[in-house]
Structure formats: C-alpha cells, structure tokens
Amino acid sequence: MAESEGAVLVVDDDAEMRELVRDVLAERGHQVTTASDGKEALQRLAEGDYAAVLTDLRMKEMQGIELLGEIRRLYPDTGVILMTAFGSVETAVEAMKHGASDYLVKPVKTDELVRVVERVLREAALRREIARLRREVHKEYSFHQILGKSKPMQAVFDLIRRVADSPTNVLITGESGTGKELVAKAIHYNSDRRHAPFVPVNCAAIPEALLESELFGHVKGAFTDAKMDKRGLFEEAHTGTLFLDEISELPIMLQAKLLRAIQEREIRRVGATKPIAVDVRIIAATNLNLAEEVRAKRFREDLYYRLNVIEIRLPPLRERREDIPLLVDAFLKKCAEARGKQVQGVSEAALALLVDYAWPGNVRELENVIERAVTLSRGDKIVPEDLPSAIQGARGERRILDEAVERTLSLEAMEKEYILRILEKTGGNKYQAAHILGIDRKTLYRKLGEIESKTRE
C-alpha cells in the first residue's frame, strides 16, 4: 500500500492499543499518527491531512460517535473506522448509518485491521480525486474562462450569470466555432445541477435511425439488434443537463417526441409501454436561424418556443475584434506549453494580420491557426510567415474600398472585384466565400453567373 494514498490517525485512550495499531499499519508502509482522545484528534486533523481516522467507540471524554460527527462535518472526504468491544456492535452499526466507513470488533485481528484500513484509504483517495476533478471542471467551465472583454461578450457573461441557476431551457445561437458548447458547460457547471451529469449530443452526428434510441433508450427486443435494455441520454442526464447541439438537424418525427418529453417531463423507451420520469434541463444550440427554419416548415414552432425561452447569441469573432489579442495570448501559452516550445509572443505585423482577418471559422479557427503557427515557428515570436497564406493576404481586402474610390469604380464593378478576391482567398471554396460575403450559396452562384455572362459580352 502506497504511503501517498493518505495518512492514518489512530485515536484511543488505551496507550497499548494505540501503539499496537500504529505498529501494524506502519509495517505496511503507512504514515500513522496517534491521539489519546477526541479533542487531541481534532487538533491533529486541523494540523495535518489525514485520509482515514481509526477511533475507539468508547473514550473517557469525547465519545467516538461524537468525534465521527465532527469529522463528517469538518472533513467529509476523510474515512472513519470505529473500533468497539463486542457488546457495542449494534452502536457501531448504527454509526455507519451516520457516515462511518466501517467498524472493527476488539480484540482486533491484524489481517482484518489491515484489510479494512486499506479499503477505506482507497475509497478516501477516490473521493478526493473525484472532488479534485469536480473543482477542476468547475474552474475549466467557469464563465471567467470564456475569454472576452468586448461589450458583446460581457452581455453573454451577464446572461450566463442570470440563467445558470434557473431551470429554464436555453437556446444558444451563433456561427460554427463561436464556442456554443463551452457556454453550455459554463451554464451547467455554474448551476445548482453542477454535480449531476452534463450530457452532450450532436444531433447531426448520429444517424436518424439510431437517434431515437440514443435519446430515449430502448427495451430488449424493440428491434433486431436490441439484445438488452438500454438507457437513453435523457436518463443519463437525469437531474443534470442535456445539451442538444445542432438541434436544427433533429428529424421532424423526433421533434414531436422531444416536445412531449419536455412538456411531460417523462420519456418512453423505444418498444416500452410505460413512461419514465426524468428531471432534465435542456440547453440547445444551432448555427442556423431557427425562426427561418420554422417558417420553412423544417422545425416545429411549438418546440422552437419551448427551447427558446432564453436565447444567448454568441457574436462571431469579426464582431469582437478587440478580443482577438486576448484570445491569441491565451492560445499561444496553451499551445507553447503543450509542445514544449519557447514561443513567447506575436510580432506586431502578425497580430495586425490576425486582427484584420474575417475569421469565418471564428474562435475555433483562431485556435487552430495559433496551434499551427506555434508548431511552425522558428523563433520566440510568431511572425507573418508562420500564418496561413489566406491570412497573410487578408489585409488586401481592406484596401479594396480605397482602391475603388481611387479608380472611381461603380458599385457593380466593385462588387464583382470583391467577390472574385474573396473567392481567390478561399481557394475557390464557394461555401466559405458565401459565408464571408454574408449571402447564401444560391445568391453567390447567381452573381457569379452574371459576372461570367457580362465577361463574355
């Protein structure tokens, strides 16, 4: 047993018994401290870090039960083992209902003492690790970790604070790469549901034929491959949060079942006859305009209003350029540390290019660009040559307006030149070009057809 799994405190007013237990555990490699009564034990606990306390049940001043209560109140992750004479076993069993980890009957057998103490130490180590991970998760998804000092992001932070502890459903909207899942996690881990599961599901990534079973579960025999009962994601998220990403991709048939689950607070597994009650907060996200999807009859209006109780719109990066230096600095430190490189900053020229770029992929694209630049960098600063060619040429678009005025171009000629330059920058990718231009692909195809037609004339 490794000493690192935690120190043991032995409490007994019988000096001979204290020494006996200490010697047995010390031989096993444990760090052991002793105390002669409950008051001294509490003093030792305040001074050190103990994973387990082994205490006699009957002592002259503070009884073992009273010490148990204080330890449970002050040190909830510490395991407590009670030692008792045969006639007090019922009292020890009752103490376990109030938080004791186990009990030993005197005279204590050496092998049983070692077995029980080492099991309680393992359990205490697991509890501490879970508590540590929860603290780390809470820190990671605190809204303070979502970087941004711009007014649009401050508005987002304010909404997260205000909705976190509410049971209200939330709809997060924004372009791809703006950090919708990060915001969903920030809401969950700052809410009163933080200790329950956060269950994410990408509605676009699961085949339609499997999606119903994934969400609601199924019973054995419900379909050919249903060889056993299976819990769905709603059940997995019970008392916690279910994050439905790309909600616009949910098939119409399943939209009706999702609406019922939200309204009735119960689900029915595929093939089951009885409903199952669930307590789940829904956070949905989309990069589409759901109101337009409703008008196009691709999304149920009643479900839209159920989900869109509170909307949090995440601004694209081009609408909060003042946050780019802050994000660049954070991603640079993260990537440099991960790769063990001594890249300590970004040159003024490179930063100017990063601020000027349109960022169709938003924060995700920026992080990828910084990761690439850190990997390719030969010095202690990122320079323009470390950036993708699309970003290096981005400043040219900023000069188009000045050139157009200088050459007294018509609006039509200016539009043509701008479209062609954007297409050149995206390497002919019409989807990305349409995204940058703020138009749909059909409109881009029409404009390109008009340009080609006039070029032939």
CATH topology of domain 318-395: Helicase, Ruva Protein; domain 3 (1.10.8)
399-456 CATH: 1.10.10.60
Q: Where are the domains of the chain?
A: 3-137, 146-315, 318-395, 399-456
CATH topology of domain 146-315: Rossmann fold (3.40.50)
Q: Do the first three CATH levels of 3-137 and 318-395 match, i.e. the same topology?
A: no
Model pLDDT, residue 22: 93
Distance CA 24, CA 207 (A): 59
Asked whether the predicted pLDDT for residue 212 surpasses 60, the reply is: yes
Model pLDDT, residue 106: 85
Model pLDDT, residue 3: 41
- Non-local CB neighbours of 261 within 8 Å, separated by 6+ positions: 216, 234, 267, 278
Q: What is the 3-state secondary structure (H, E, C) of 410-447?
A: CHHHHHHHHHHHHHHHCCCCHHHHHHHHCCCHHHHHHH
Angle between helices 411-425 and 430-437 (to 10 degrees): 130
Please choose, from the candidates 150, 338, 177, the residue with its C-alpha nearest in 3D space to the C-alpha of residue 245.
Answer: 177
CATH superfamily of 3-137: Response regulator (3.40.50.2300)
Phi and psi, residue 262, nearest 5°: -70, -45
Least confident stretch, 73-87, 226-240, 359-373? 73-87
Model pLDDT, residue 372: 94
In sequence order, what are the beta bridge partners of 54? 10, 81
Model pLDDT, residue 224: 81
- Non-local CB neighbours of 163 within 8 Å, separated by 6+ positions: 170, 187, 310, 312
Per-residue pLDDT tens digits for 132-150: 665 555 555 445 567 788 8
Model pLDDT, residue 319: 92
Distances (CA, A) of 224 to 56, 121, 228: 59, 46, 11
- pTM here is 0.60
- Contact (CB, 8 A) for 113 and 104: yes
Asked whether the predicted pLDDT for residue 229 surpasses 50, the reply is: yes
Model pLDDT, residue 4: 45
Average pLDDT over the chain reads: 87
